[in-house]
């Protein structure tokens, strides 16, 4: 590749990225409420466990003081509140089907019930417990 082609490619990349909405002060963050979040990583007993993109379930939907979603094979629901980056999920209940991966679903429900904070970066939601990340979700389109 000659020098002229390299310069043209570099100029194209610079022009394309300079038009990015995030460079104009516009937020690209997904919203905590009204978004369907899919778990991609769960911290189970101190070990990060990746949830396959192809795995069904492990969703989180937050709206108007409520939380619901799908575990491995059970639907769940509960109460939700947030204030100043702190959250509380309480009064959780779920359907009672026996799942092939029941232990992981139980840990997922425990993570939700004990989370007390959150952070959103672009399309990722991090649930926190005492400042440590216990689950990472990705916004679904």
Q: Total structural domains in the chain?
A: 1
14 confidence band (pLDDT: 50, 70, 90): very low
The boundaries of the domain holding residue 132 are 29-139
Question: Does 9 fall in a domain?
Answer: no
pTM for this entry: 0.78
68 falls within a domain: yes
**Which pLDDT score is estimated for 56?**
82
What are the pLDDT digits (tens) for 68-94? 999 999 999 999 999 988 999 999 999
The answer to the question of residue 24 being in a domain is no
* pLDDT value of position 114: 97
CATH number of the domain to which 58 belongs? 2.40.128.270
Is the pLDDT score of 99 beyond 80? yes
Any domain includes 12: no
Q: How confident is the model at residue 3 (pLDDT cuts 50, 70, 90)?
A: low
Q: Which of 121, 114, 122 is nearest to 42 (CA)?
A: 114
Q: Is residue 116 part of a domain?
A: yes
> What pLDDT does 90 receive?
96
- Is the pLDDT at 40 greater than 80? The verdict is yes
pLDDT at 12 over 60: no
Distance CA 74, CA 50 (A): 19
pLDDT bucket at 109, cuts 50 / 70 / 90? very high
- The verdict on residue 96 lying in a domain is yes
Q: What is the pLDDT of residues 132-141, one digit of tens each?
A: 999 999 999 7
Residue 135: CB partners within 8 Å, gap ≥ 6? 39, 41, 42, 43, 108, 111, 112, 115, 126, 127
Question: Is 4 inside a domain boundary?
Answer: no
Domain-located, residue 64: yes
């Amino acid at each position: 590749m000659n020098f002229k082609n390299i310069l043209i490619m570099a100029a194209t990349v610079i022009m394309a990225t300079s038009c990015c909405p995030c460079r104009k002060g516009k937020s690209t963050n997904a919203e905590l409420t009204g978004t369907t979040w899919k778990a991609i990583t769960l911290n189970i007993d101190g070990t990060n466990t990746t949830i396959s993109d192809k795995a069904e379930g492990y969703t989180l939907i937050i709206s108007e003081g409520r939380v619901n979603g799908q575990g491995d094979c059970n639907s769940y629901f509960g109460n939700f509140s947030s204030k100043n980056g702190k959250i509380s999920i309480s009064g959780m209940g779920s359907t009672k089907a026996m799942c092939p991966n029941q232990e992981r679903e139980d840990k997922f429900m425990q993570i939700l019930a004990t989370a007390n904070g959150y952070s959103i970066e672009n399309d990722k939601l991090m649930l926190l417990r005492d400042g440590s990340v216990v689950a990472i979700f990705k916004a679904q389109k």
